[in-house]
A and B are shown apart, each in its own frame.
Chain A
Amino acid sequence: MKPALTLILCLPLLTLSAAPVGYNREVRPVLSDHCFACHGPDAANRKAGLRLDQPGDWDREEFIRRILTTDPDEVMPPPKAHKALSASQQQILRRWIEEGSRYESHWSFVPPVKATPSTGIDDFIRAALPARGLHPAPRADQTTLVRRVALDLTGLPPTLEEQQRFAPPDSYEAMVDHFLAKPAFGEHMAVAWLDAARYADTNGYQVDRDRELWPWRDWVVRAFNANLPFDRFTIEQLAGDLLPGATLDQRIATGFHRNHMFNEEGGIIAEEFLAEYTADRVETTAAVWLGQTFNCCRCHDHKFDPFTQRDFYAMKAFFHNVPERGVGIYGNPVRTNAPPFLKLPSPELEARINSLNGRLKDVEEHQKRFTSEDLEPWAQRLAQTSIDWQILPPVKATGGDQPPRIEGDAVVVGPQETRPNDLALTLRLPTAKLTGLRIECATADASASFQWSELRIPHARARALEPAFLNLLDNDRRTRSPLSISPGKPVQALFELEGELAGGELTLTLGVENAGGSTRWRVFVTTAPRELLVPDSLVAVAKTPAASRSPQDQKLLTGFRLSQLPEYRRLSDEAVALRREIAAAEGEIPTTLVMEEQKDPRPTFVLLRGAYDKPGERVAPATPAVLPKPAADVPGNRLGLARWLVAPENPLTARVTVNRFWQQLFGAGLVRSSEDFGSQGDLPSHPELLDWLAVTFRESGWDVKGLLKLLVMSETYRQSSRCPDDAAAREADPANVWLARASRHRLPAEVIRDQALAASGLLVGKMGGPAVKPYHPPGLYEQVVAQRDNPKATYQQGTGEDLHRRSLYTYWKRSVPHPGMLLFDAPFREVCAMRRTRSNTPLQALNLMNDPTYVESARFLALRMIGEGGATPESRVAHGCRLVLARPPAPAEKAVLLAALQRALSDFGRDPASATEFLSVGEKKTVAPASPAEVAAYTLLASTLLNLDETISRE
């Protein structure tokens, strides 16, 4: 902490408090910060049995003596705690004791009431000003307000038409209604909710592969646009699946609590991470709805707030009943959501899959009509003839991380072949005409594991004779059948050769990945009659007398015989192709993660010190003991929890929610620590206003658009953001806590980019769907992301519309979020974030000046200035200002801009080659209406406009 700063800030407060000291406002902050860690709610760590956070029979005189003494052995807090009391804090505590040491319940646990009759927000705000020597600022001018409301409600600048339509000050309310009704409203409001919900397009942790949850993101956008009341918004996201007759949309909504990270690292312990995910759900729920920091009570009772470790695990029990695994399915193809998830096929896709399935069924039916006439004679031939397999001596073996080694007639691969590699095996062929090929892979290593995904045989068509090996020949690395290998149990793959293969050398290509242990590979060929090429297991069946064969064996044998008939074989090939096509089509079905309840509840235990492997007492689902109990008729599951959160008795949800919306519009909450309404959080600056808003919001039926309109219609919101000239007024409230002026703050990352795209006309209005990949610095992933199992290791930049969608739709990879977002303080989306910091760094300047996103936007903005802005530089410059700043330039600004234009025209005029280069940035091409030098000069001017502090600020 900075003592000097804190002192300055505290002074006004102290001078105001001539009345008795208030427990909540003055005393508890001191006790909480300095005493509660040892003398508070945490029973396990309480010292001397003394508890100061609630009324009790403790020695007041001794208390005062101990805090005032100068004896280092006696003074409280003890010096080693580094929590010494300041003189003013000692005075507060002394006065409190002298005045009778009265307690008050923690403010946020007392249900909000409308304490004073009030006509609205402005009364509360203005009532607090005179005592601080502050006066309300005048109303901002209408041009400022049009831009402010447009950016705050839709995240986009007002269009020229909107600027014109809402220029009359008396159109303000119509303007507010207009922006609340635009679809862009839902997109903008969703962003803060996605931060809170920790939404991303990848699983996070080390492997960080893709997940699909964008249908949930689109649900959030729709919910805001449809003005879904906040109570339903809550219930459907926490427990939509448990609603009677849950609709598809309500089930999609439950994706909220599947947004947590998901670990797919090899070797992790499932239970450990299941404990992480459920804890994340508890902590996120507590932060988002209750404004409480539950993470403290994961390991011990809360040190400052009256929540116990038992409360934490009782909450966890609500979220611990999902049929899920703690770990990912390591090594599987990328596009695999972790169950449970919903499939959301489009009608067209569904129809296509149905038709393919129909065709497959026809083929299978057709095959069923075949019968084998000569099974037994064939079986006898199989039983009586043994095939002569001739080994092919290896000549050369190459490829892989470690070169394969030839040892006698085998090729040894590994032990470490950690990525899918192509191994080339060259073998000498006999001159005879070959019919069959057998590849054997053996190991002596008990822990060997391997993946074999590909086999390529030049000059010959091979047919895998067993289903397990079908995928080897499909030229697709991603498909592979699970093959297990262990000492004494080699893998043997049998192929019938259809092409010409005789004499010379043969080079086989094997796609192999060994995760541990060495494997020995041998290759055999034969000239035996084709009808005798069957796996050894089938020979054993053939040797069994027909009467003694099991029905399965009999069926297997018959099937194999039939597959030697050309017509049957053709049908089999068709079935294989159809199945592949169906699998590919099913792979295109979007899915979305959801919550479900498993039938048998998973038991939940208190975890001692939070350790997943140290279960303590078993707990049932319950809401925190210190808060009002749920109504009797509320079920003891997630649905009950959700209903309790929005029940009228809940003192927190409405307050926390209105505070978050207030924060969005005013730059900071009435409670600045919007994620912490506990005793370590900030107190509300205007407690009566917060309560009035909370009750009004709840009584309105949790009408979100209504609340936002109420805030935006206030005179407090409409004030000018200019800092006062009067030094005393500035010093009275530098951080604008008392709102004697409107807040002025930098725009969020998404709005900065979207505004540039909108002003330049590049913005694509298409809503929803999978994430898109706009411009991105090349090589960013390659330096941190491993290639292993991850075809997405390289950022595959999108094209066309994908480059210019709203930032909400930008692909969010947790290990490497888009740098343009991070630089402007977007969180990593690994955990719940209820507010963003606002930094001001040189890296932001570099981004806005040099990112192709902004250089391309500048070019298109320039084209609009030239094309739409009239014939003179003056009118064109003014047009640019209107597009970006929603106002015409002031005369002095116009002078600077025109001089800049002249300067740029002459710079680029002297160097037309540079002008052409400058205009080449960005994928979208232009037909220039003027000389390259002129367009380049306007582009530079446009870039200046996009870099203005005013442009990236909300005035």
Chain B
Amino acid sequence: MNRITESPEPSAIQDFLNRRLFLRRGGSVLGATALASLARAEEASPGLPGFPHHPAKAKRIIYLFQSGAPSQMDLFDPKPRMEKERGKDLPESIRKGQRLTTMTSGQKNFPIAPSLFKFARHGQSGAWMSEVLPNLAKIADELCFIRSMHTEAINHDPAITFCQTGHQLAGRPSIGSWLSYGLGTQNRNLPAYVVLTSFGSGRPNDQPLYDRLWSAGFIPTQHQGVKFRNSGDPVLYLSDPAGMNRGVRRSMLDELAALNRRDHETYADPEIDSRIAQYEMAFRMQASVPDLIDVSKEPAHILDLYGPDVKRPGSYAANCLLARRLAERDVRCIQLFHMGWDHHGGLPTALKGQCKDTDQATAALILDLKQRGLLEDTLIVWGGEFGRTIYSQGALTETNYGRDHHPRCFTVFLAGAGVRKGFTLGETDDYGYNIVSDPVHVHDLNATILHLLGVDHKKLTYRFQGRDYRLTDIHGERVGKILA
């Protein structure tokens, strides 16, 4: 760039709008009517000029992040030959000096732990899934598995950060922020990027999450994910204080707007108009968010579909139902984080718990979207930050084993808009240790997600510290084979 940038944040849509307003209206005083129409005009805020780059298959994404890294060889990627290798040491020819976390690098041997779970093929597509996913098995033909995912990090923080931002270290924008920035929002009464979190029952005190996973990094903060909370205010500071009713708040906002308009007369700064519009949006959110989270009118058969957990606020099932309601309201990026998948020991019991949390509700979400015609333009992604090792961390017994982190291969699945149904991509070796065909890097997955949302991942950039940054860094290839 190296020019005098004559706009404070040249790439921010907010400033683009402000500038447009500034040039159009200048110092003239806006009446209340004009302001109201301004607010309406902004309701479906367009993204950046030129976006989407091509017709989008998906209008929105629901990303079901399984935090802690689910074990692929216990869920999706059967390794029947391992039965015979049970307890034997993982051959060096397979491990090839792969670095290990210090949790197992001190282990004297690496005993192979075949999965305790029974696998079967499901649906017409014959997708493999294990017995702990009975509900997802029933909709196997809706799903598209990538068994050949791989990543670069071997510890949770860097790996989740990598999936979310394309970089292992903190500081870059998250995927939802990129989408909000590039594509804008389709519903000005709700944030463009909403995050929901839940604790897993498999390991209740598992790896934590942190707000920066959905932060906007260096792009303007209005694009950061807004985490809906499951206790207290669903959106921070949403509720009026005690003793304040809606009528009083409405009057207060009218008076505030009147005073702010006077301020605009003095300073003619378009930011003031923008401020008035944001207070109006806040007022609307105070109604739209409670309406969103009020599931009391959901019929019993829908609640049954998601399972009994749906009635427990903050559960994964409850979040799946909220995800559907958010999708109905055209929120661009909905991201669930379910914790508790980090099974270094006691995997069989813990995995069952996690699947009990997620299997029925995930399947229900997909079915529910489908019956409403929303699956056609909603992209679903289900997956964690890396895979797990075929060898046991700690002692291998008849009924028990644990698995360490494994970045070289893992499985994710997609469903919905633009995704090839009933399809499985990629293959791993007999040990589930290395990829044999069709490797898909996290950057490739992210490039594909953006593609489905109408974005060329190479053209969604933001200049920071002299460099054009993007979600996929300087990498990433769209995975054509999984596209419908």
Contact = CB atoms under 8 A, between A and B. Distances in A.
A679 B466 contact: yes
Nearest to A725: B27
Given A446-B108, A777-B233, A843-B282, 10 more contacts: A266-B102, A267-B404, A727-B26, A777-B236, A786-B207, A828-B211, A837-B9, A850-B238, A900-B252, A944-B259
A482 to B, nearest CB: 17
Contact of B16 (A5, A904, A948): A5
A468 interface: no
Interface in A904-955: 904, 907, 911, 913-921, 936, 940, 943-944, 947-950, 953, 955
B206 A673 contact: no
A526 to B, nearest CB: 33
Contacts of A900: 251-252, 255
A402 B346 contact: yes
B23 A730 contact: yes
B241 A852 contact: yes
B275 A907 contact: no
Determine which residue in A516, A845, A914 has the highest number of CB atoms from chain B within 10 A of its CB, and name it: A845
Closest 8 CB pairs of A and B: A680-B466, A918-B243, A917-B243, A416-B346, A815-B210, A267-B101, A845-B282, A723-B268
Contact of B260 (A681, A734, A784, A949): A949
Interface stretch (B72-80, B88-96, B223-231, B364-372): B223-231
B267 A416 contact: no
Given A206-B157, A445-B395, A940-B248, A846 B346 contact: no
A944 B395 contact: no
A678 B466 CA distance: 8
A754 B260 CA distance: 21
Contacts of B169: 276, 831
B31 interface: no
B99 A516 contact: no
B11 A849 contact: no
Chain B interface main SS type: loop
A265 B22 contact: no
A251 B74 CA distance: 54
Nearest to B347: A416
A182 to B, nearest CB: 27
A893 B259 contact: yes
15 contacts: A25-B3, A261-B170, A266-B102, A293-B465, A416-B402, A447-B393, A668-B8, A676-B466, A723-B26, A744-B267, A784-B210, A842-B281, A843-B236, A851-B237, A940-B252
Nearest to B102: A267
Contacts of A953: 269, 271
A447 B394 contact: yes
A780 to B, nearest CB: 7
B262 interface: yes
Interface in A682-738: 682-685, 721-725, 727, 730-731, 733-735, 737
Nearest to A936: B243
B3 A914 contact: no
Contact of A5 (B7, B260, B402, B458): B7
A734 B459 contact: no
B331 to A, nearest CB: 15
Contacts of A837: 9, 12, 220-221
Contact of A266 (B103, B197, B263): B103
Interface string B271-297: 110111011011001100000000000
Interface in A1-39: 1-6, 9-10, 12-13, 25, 28-29, 32-33
A949 B277 CA distance: 12
B5 A672 contact: yes
A679 to B, nearest CB: 5
A840 B274 contact: yes
A445 B170 contact: no
Nearest to B209: A784
A189 to B, nearest CB: 22
A578 interface: no
B1 A949 contact: no
Given A2-B49, A849-B240, A843 B235 contact: yes
Nearest to B197: A783
B19 interface: yes
A205 interface: yes
A784 B213 CA distance: 11
B398 interface: no
A745 to B, nearest CB: 8
A723 B27 contact: yes
Contacts of A682: 1-5
Nearest to A836: B221
Interface string A423-456: 0000000000000000000001111100000000
Given A673-B465, A843-B226, A914-B243, A722 B349 contact: no
A517 B155 contact: no
Nearest to B467: A680
Nearest to B20: A5
Contact of A13 (B3, B204, B249, B345): B3
Contacts of B215: 828
B262 A892 contact: yes
Interface residues of B, number: 115
B241 A850 contact: yes
A261 to B, nearest CB: 7
Interface residues of A, number: 148
B346 A918 contact: no
A786 B205 contact: yes
Contacts of A82: 458-459
A681 B467 CA distance: 9
B400 A846 contact: no
A239 to B, nearest CB: 26
A53 to B, nearest CB: 12
A562 to B, nearest CB: 41
B336 to A, nearest CB: 13
Contacts of A917: 242-243
A685 B4 contact: yes
A943 B259 CA distance: 13
Contact of A830 (B170, B237, B314, B463): B170
A284 to B, nearest CB: 12
Nearest to B284: A842
A713 to B, nearest CB: 23
B62 interface: no
B171 interface: yes
A842 B279 contact: yes
A33 B49 contact: no
Contacts of A667: 8
B258 interface: yes
Contacts of A414: 346
B160 to A, nearest CB: 9
Contacts of A778: 231-232
Interface in A818-868: 819, 822-823, 825, 828, 830-831, 837-847, 849-852, 855
B373 interface: no
A37 to B, nearest CB: 10
A944 B242 contact: no
A371 to B, nearest CB: 47
B437 interface: no
A828 B404 CA distance: 30
B107 A447 contact: yes
Given A13-B3, A268-B155, A819 B232 contact: no
A380 interface: no
A683 B27 CA distance: 30
Contact of B345 (A516, A723, A847, A904): A516
Given A2-B16, A10-B3, A723-B268, A920 B242 contact: yes
B298 interface: no
A785 B208 CA distance: 5
Contacts of B467: 293, 296, 304, 680
Contact of B394 (A269, A445, A949): A445
B251 A903 contact: yes
Given A840-B278, A846-B237, A722 B266 contact: yes
B3 A840 contact: no
